[in-house]
């Protein structure tokens, strides 16, 4: 059915707003405006859909919008910043699942006949189904529902076999179009199982990259299904999201120096060989001495990590920074690309606390300054400052670019306990002569440092 020009125009305008919104989200300064513009784009696209002549099931569409909108509003209001990565994962999974569900309905109704359209529908359904179940597993891991990775015997062989079966079933659907219901159900079942099996063995250290990859999958699935439905808004939005997700996945894999094939087929699970044994002992420091070391320093670099996020300590950290700067200390923030659980996680937390953007530097910008730094303060970070990534070829994180905190004159590490990091690898930084450990939850610990800074004047 040829749709009226005003419907297609609304969809196209909505797609343009998606692009404008995505452009805005490329910078912390304009990210909020970008999200708002993308929201307007969604409203325009929905309005265009309701303008379709002889639209059926309007009540069901309205009910779905109300239920989905209410759930998103409530969860968005309640979610903690530390839980944002798993929310991204589950919302992303819903997008992939929706794309797969659209394809399933089209197949069951027998509305897909053209070979090209059937092929794109099959591809979109496959990657959408994989993204759905894989993202659900990612959410369960980050939320703590799944406590550990689960690896099957001959895991990679199982992955290849499931992928091969799903491709063969998809090819049969293209050749036999319209396909029989039994073939359709078998195809979707295998595709859903594939997403589960591929994601279950992947540990927490690799999960941010996997979430980004599934985000790219969802975008591509939406784009393919948009072509099947003849909807330009879905095509453009899907392509843009797919391209952005692919680029982000590549950047994160590069930041970890781990090829995507290694992340999917030889994941870091936190077990096994953690590299060479580390010699030496950890040396503790108290809040009083930590405050004095920073108060009388010329330059302090703060490295935030997930521990700061969990403790909601970003406001205290900014209060401490202000006191140091009043005393004439130069303070900068160093952010690793995969600090926290998602790219930009630390940037958002610091921005929330009021830290100016010009004080936040990424790895390439800040690493050269550590040798001239008097104190590097590590708050809840672990793997991103582990020097074995440079020195120990047997370590699972060897080759991963890190922040060179160990090259500072002094290092203070605020940490809740003596456990290893997200990758399960012991941190050699903690045993170096220039490092001191300050144990405790980040918020009260930084609060004690603040009180001692005030007494030092």
- Active-site position among 83, 358, 383, 441: 383
Please say whether the beta carbons of 453 and 323 come within 8 A.
yes
Strand partners, 333: 302, 360
Residues in the chain: 457
Strand 375-379 to 299-304 pairing: parallel
192 CB-near residues (< 8 Å, 6+ apart) = 129, 130, 132, 133
141 CB-near residues (< 8 Å, 6+ apart) = 149, 202, 204, 207
Please say whether the beta carbons of 204 and 271 come within 8 A.
no
Whether 383 is catalytic is: yes
Scanning the structure block, which residue is given the tokens 């503790």?
A: 284
Q: For residues 219-257, b (16+ Cβ closer than 10 Å) or e, as one string?
A: bbbbbbbbbbbebbbbbbbbbbbbebbbebbeebbebbe
Which positions are catalytic?
383
């Amino acid at each position: 059915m040829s749709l009226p020009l005003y419907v297609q125009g609304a969809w196209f305008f909505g797609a343009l707003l998606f692009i404008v919104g995505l452009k805005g989200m490329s910078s912390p300064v304009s990210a909020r405006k970008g999200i708002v513009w993308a929201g307007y784009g969604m409203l325009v696209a929905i309005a265009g859909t309701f303008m379709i002549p002889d639209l059926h099931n309007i009540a069901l569409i309205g009910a779905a919008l109300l239920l989905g909108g209410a759930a998103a509003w409530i969860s968005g209001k309640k979610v903690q910043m530390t839980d944002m990565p798993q929310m991204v994962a589950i919302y992303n999974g819903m997008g992939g699942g929706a794309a797969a569900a659209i394809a399933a309905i089209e197949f069951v109704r027998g509305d897909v006949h053209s070979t090209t359209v059937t092929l794109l529908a099959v591809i979109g359904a496959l990657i959408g189904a994989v993204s759905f179940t894989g993202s659900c597993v990612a959410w369960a891991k980050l939320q703590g529902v799944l406590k550990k990775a689960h690896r099957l015997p001959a895991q990679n062989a199982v992955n290849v076999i499931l992928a091969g079966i799903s491709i063969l079933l998809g090819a049969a659907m293209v050749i036999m179009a319209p396909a029989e219901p039994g073939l359709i159900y078998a195809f979707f079942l295998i595709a859903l199982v594939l997403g589960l099996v591929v994601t279950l063995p992947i540990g927490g250290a690799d999960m941010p990259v996997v979430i980004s990859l599934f985000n790219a999958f969802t975008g591509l699935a939406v784009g393919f299904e948009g072509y099947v439905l003849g909807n330009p808004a879905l095509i453009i939005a899907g392509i843009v999201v797919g391209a952005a997700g692919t680029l982000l996945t590549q950047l994160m894999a590069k930041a970890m120096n781990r090829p995507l094939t290694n992340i999917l087929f030889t994941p870091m699970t936190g077990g096994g060989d953690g590299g060479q044994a580390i010699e030496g002992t950890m040396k503790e420091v108290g809040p009083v001495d930590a405050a004095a070391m920073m108060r009388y320093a010329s330059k302090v670099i703060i490295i935030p990590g997930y521990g700061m996020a969990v403790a909601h300590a970003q406001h205290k950290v900014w209060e401490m920074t202000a006191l140091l700067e009043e005393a004439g200390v130069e303070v900068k923030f160093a952010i690793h690309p995969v600090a926290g659980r998602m790219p930009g996680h630390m940037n958002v937390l610091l921005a929330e606390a009021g830290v100016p953007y010009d004080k936040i530097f990424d790895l390439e910008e800040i690493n050269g300054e550590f040798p001239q730094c008097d104190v590097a303060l590590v708050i809840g970070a672990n793997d991103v400052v582990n020097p074995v990534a440079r020195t120990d070829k047997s370590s699972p994180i060897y080759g991963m670019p890190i922040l060179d905190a160990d090259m500072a004159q002094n290092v203070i590490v605020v940490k809740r306990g003596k456990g290893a990091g997200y990758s399960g690898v012991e941190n050699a930084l903690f045993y170096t002569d220039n490092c001191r450990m300050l144990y405790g939850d980040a918020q009260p610990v930084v609060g004690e440092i603040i009180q001692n800074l005030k007494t030092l004047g």
